[in-house]
Amino acid sequence: MGSQPSFVAYIALGSNMGDRERFLSDAIRLLDEHEAIQVSAQSNIYETDPVGYTDQGPFLNMAVEVETSLSAEALFDVMMQIEQRLGRVREIRFGPRTMDLDMLLYDDLRQDDPKLILPHPRMLERAFVLVPLIEAMQGRHPQQAAELSAQLEKLEGKEGITLWKKMQ
Phi-psi region of 21 (alpha: psi -120 to 50; beta: other; left: phi over 0): alpha
Tell me the catalytic residues.
88, 97, 100, 102
Q: For the packed helices 142-153 and 127-137, what is the interaxial angle rounded to 10 degrees?
A: 160
Say how far apart CA 73 and CA 62 lie, in whole Å. 22
Phi-psi region of 123 (alpha: psi -120 to 50; beta: other; left: phi over 0): alpha
Omega before 119 within 30 of 0, i.e. cis: yes
Helix then strand then coil, % of the chain, to nearest 5: 35, 30, 40
